[in-house]
Each structure stands twice: as C-alpha cells, then as structure tokens.
Amino acid sequence: MSTTRNRGSLPTSALDCHLSNAIWRRSRVVPTATISPNSVLIRSLSPDDIVVYIPNHIIVYRDGRDEKLVDCDTTPAGVDPSSGVQSKGVVILPDAPLSARLYIPKPQNHLVKKLPLLFFYYGGGFICGTAAEPNMHNFLNLIVAESNAMIVSVDYRTVPDNHIPTAYDNSWEAIKWAAQHVDGNGPESWLNEYADLGHVFFVGDSSGANIAHQMAIRAGSENMGGSINLEGIILLHPFFWGTTSVGSEDLDPAFIEYMEMIWTFDYPETCGLDDPFLNPAMDPKLLNLGGSKEFIYVAELDNLRNRGWYYKYILDQSGCKGKINVIEDKGVRHVYFLSDPSLESARAMRTNISTFINT
C-alpha cells in the first residue's frame, strides 16, 4: 500500500493525536502526534500491529516493516520541458549507498561563466522524502532556471534505517566529493565544467534547513583546504526546537509532545530537545558558522515560525558577523512553496533566492 501526500498540506487532527498516544502507551515505543495523513487508515490498524505511528510520516509494524506516508512518489531526472533545465543522478559513495541529483540550467544560459553551486537538502523530518520527490524536483528546476545556478541535491539516507547523525554525515560526504572538482579534474563532468566552487551556498527546507545549518557549522569548523568557498546559507522554514518557548510560542501540548517524540525517533541517542543538533542556541560551535550571510524564510501559520526568528536572534547575540535576513510569508503554512509554486509569495521567494546568490 502506498499513501501519496505532501508535507505541509494537511490539517491537524485531534483524533489522530489521541490514537497515536494510545498506540504509544500500549507499545512503549516512540510514535508521535501531528498532522494527520489518513484517519481511516489508522482506524483500520490494531495497536497490536504497530510499534511506531508518526502521523504524516511513518508507520513501523511489529514485524519490522515500515510504511512512509508522505513524499513517497518519485520522478525521473532528465530535461524539464518547461524550462530546459537538465538533471541527472550520480553516485557519490557506492557502498553507503549515497547519491545525489544534479541540476544545470538550459545550456545557452551558462556559456560565459561558471555557475553558483547550491547544495540542497530536502526536508521530511529526517524520515520521508528523497531527492527524486516530484514537488522537490519541480521546485529545484525553478530555482535553477530562475537563478542560473547549479544544484547538488543530496539524497542522504533517512530514518529508521539510518538514524541521525547519518543524514549529517552523508551530507558532508557529498560536500567533500564535490570539493574534488576544484581544479576541474574530478570524477563528475558537470561539476568540472559548470560549478563555481568559489561561489557555494548550502540550502534546505525544514529538516533539510537544519542540515544546511549543520553543514555550515562543519564548513566553519573543519579545514576544507580552500577547495570550497561557502558564501552563505538559505534556510526555508527550518526545523529547530528547544525546551523553552521563544517569541510568541504558545503551542498545544500535543505538538510539543510530537516534537519530542519525532526527535527521539530520529535520534535515539539524543540528549533531548536542547540537543545542539536541534537547538542551535545550545551549540558551542555556533560561532564557527561558515559563510558571510544567512537568509531565513518563515511562514506565519507554521508552528516552527518563531524558531526561524530566534535563529536570527541567537546569531545576532553571539556576535555573528554575517548579514542575516529573515522574511516571513503571511497566511501560509510549513513548506507551502513546494505544493503551491505559483503563489505570489512562492514566486517572490524564488526571486529573493536568486538575488541572494547572485549579488
């Protein structure tokens, strides 16, 4: 059975919260309660059959099977007929396995100079999604066409087969792999021919924005030998949290419980919601953040909204010297721009991304 739905497009269901909590008490394993994927689906399942139920993310059955509930569809790489953007899959580490999807603009757009290089990390709570998910693929086609940039969309490995820190380690391996192309003699021809490794950005949505932040910390902490110059990071509706409310947060206890449960599922060895991986304010390496500028997008109707604003605050308070800009879109929810790319706010976001990376 396959349930095909998109992140951020569904209403919160109190019924599913109660069902999820009931399963949790019975199984003593971490499920969670948040946006409902399908109430009928859950009613058809016995708690005896389920180890973990995370609405809008995953069901793990007692026999060891798991069923991911969103962003399950895939679309092939190739030439986008509307923009002429080309994409293809590449293998980075065969044994991991670790792969990526590369994007370049229509050929006549990049004959004069090499292109800004964006490393993109998809969201999905570290559980769902792939680099081949259709909405993500379409979004990146638009970014490439409108920004005249090249993208490495990293297909990092996800939970439950690969718990955190695998997603971070995979993402760093992809950066190191791309760094091999600094002299134009690496293993991938597109990177050799088109990528400007002196003009690099880390970008992600939701949990992918969390990864982009962590990659910037690593880039500022570890010696890359001058092979890659990180100019900045772009965080779209970043997945951050913590034990203390920030800003105007006054959230339903079920959502707070959800955050704790999903994070524990992602990272069983975590120290909790103030883990530096989840709460940047608790990271002693925060001042190592690489890049000279940060661009953060938040959404008015997103429960994670205040965390994006708080991210700017803690960077300002820490003495971060980079230029930090936050834009809040009104009347929209978490990662709305993936399912509704034609909205004026989504188009404005892409324009602002293009300006950010090209100036």
The catalytic residue positions are 206, 302, 334
The 3-state DSSP class for residue 201 equals strand
How far is the CA of 195 from the CAs of 107, 110, 152, 189, 291, in angstroms? 13, 10, 10, 10, 18
- Count the neighbouring beta carbons within 10 Å of the beta carbon of residue 172: 19
Of the candidates 77, 66, 46, 54, the one whose C-alpha atom is nearest the C-alpha of residue 2 is 66
Q: Are 142 and 350 in contact (CB under 8 A)?
A: yes
Q: Round to the nearest angstrom and report the end-to-end CA distance of the chain.
A: 47
Identify whether the C-beta of residue 264 lies closer than 8 Å to the C-beta of residue 293: no
Dihedral sign, Cα of residue 278, residue 283, residue 285, residue 289? positive
Determine the Cα–Cα distance for residues 222 and 47; give it in Å rounded to an integer: 46
Q: Is 132 helix (H, G, I), strand (E, B) or coil?
A: coil
- Extract the tokens encoding 123: 């969201």
Q: How far apart are CA 353 and CA 359, in angstroms?
A: 10
C-alpha span between 243 and 245 (Å, rounded): 7
Burial 90-124 (b: 16+ CB within 10 A, else e): bebeeeeebbbbbbbbeeebbeeebbbbbbbbbbb
Cis amide linkage into residue 37, ω under 30° from 0? no
How far apart (Å, rounded) are the C-alpha atoms in residues 239 and 308? 8
How big is the CA angle at 312 (ends 215 and 294), to the nearest 5 degrees?
Answer: 50
Q: How many residues does the chain have?
A: 359
- Answer whether 245's CB lies under 8 Å from 16's CB: no
Residue located via tokens 């965390």:
307
